[in-house]
Amino acid sequence: MLDDLHRLTSKQRKFLLDEIITSRFPVGIWLAERLEALEIEELLSSGALIGRDYGKVISLEDYWRGAGGKRFENLVTNISDRRAKDAKDVEIYSFAGCLQESLDGLEWEEEFRQGAIVVSERTQIKAGKRQIYSEWLAELEKTEGTPREVAIAWRTLEILIEREERKKQKTLDFPKDAKELERLDDSAVRASAELFLCKEFKIPYYFGIHRLTSLASSNIQQFLWLAGNLFEEAASSALLKKSSYLTPTRQEQILKHTIRENWNAIRERILRWIRFSWTRDWEIISDPGGPKSVKGCG
């Protein structure tokens, strides 16, 4: 990677590129160069106005996290779709289309139904005979929707009751009305309820393009190495004339395997760095004329 390549003249740049191409090893290379139209001093000269002559500094991670993460999701979805279309020997035109997004099908209906029964019974036991939660419980009894939605609603109520019970400052035992439940029942609590529910009843949680982009933490490189194994699985299935549609269970298995691989790689890099540091320190503090010893290293 060559920095300040823009400072070369056109002839110097041509000579440099010719030299790199003719003298390089017989492997693929990637050449990056930075181009500038104006120096910063020229761009921000006296009298330059923000909004007219230059814009404010943009923090990419803050920008991608805006709009509930949809900006980053739209960006990486576009990138992944373009890469999928360029893949050889396989016709996949949408990467997101390979990822099942919902658990509302018949496959997981029974698990969510059983989960709702277990959690509702547990929640009612926690509430006990206290009248303070009677309206909340009555409101949940009227909940309609898919088994998944009902189970998440009961797990959300359990979290809210547990939160109320752990408060140091107790309130009078007046019944809490349904409007207060609606106010406390926000998206963050429901997201936590779904995660806890999936962990307890062994239901997949890490699947779909939305969860995948959340795992990437607004980092394109991280998204690519997380999505890479998913696309490889979908492409392999397509080549074998099978469905390239990955189930939530298979998506979560691949993602967990990918993350374990990367954690192990990080550990290996750290160990190599430690071994290198010890070797270097040994050479620096060793006595060239006598026996080698490391002082102060325990």
The answer to whether residues 222 and 158 belong to one domain is: no
Q: Is position 71 within any domain?
A: no
Q: Is position 96 within any domain?
A: no
Q: Is position 99 within any domain?
A: no
The answer to whether residues 195 and 223 belong to one domain is: no
The answer to whether residues 152 and 178 belong to one domain is: yes
Domain-ending residue, one of 200, 227, 248? 200
Question: Could you read off the pLDDT of 2-33 as tens digits, one per residue?
Answer: 667 767 777 887 888 778 777 766 666 666 66
CB 119 within 8 A of CB 158: yes
Question: Could you read off the pLDDT of 122-146 as tens digits, one per residue?
Answer: 998 888 767 788 888 888 888 888 9
| Structural domain total, the chain | 3
pLDDT confidence bin for 243, thresholds 50/70/90: confident
* Residue-number span of the structural domain to which 17 is assigned: 1-57
Q: Is position 73 within any domain?
A: no
Span 190-199, average pLDDT:
94
Q: Is position 291 within any domain?
A: no
Question: Could you read off the pLDDT of 225-236 as tens digits, one per residue?
Answer: 899 999 999 999
Q: Is position 138 within any domain?
A: yes
Q: Is position 22 within any domain?
A: yes
The answer to whether residues 189 and 213 belong to one domain is: no
Domain-ending residue, one of 200, 222, 249? 200
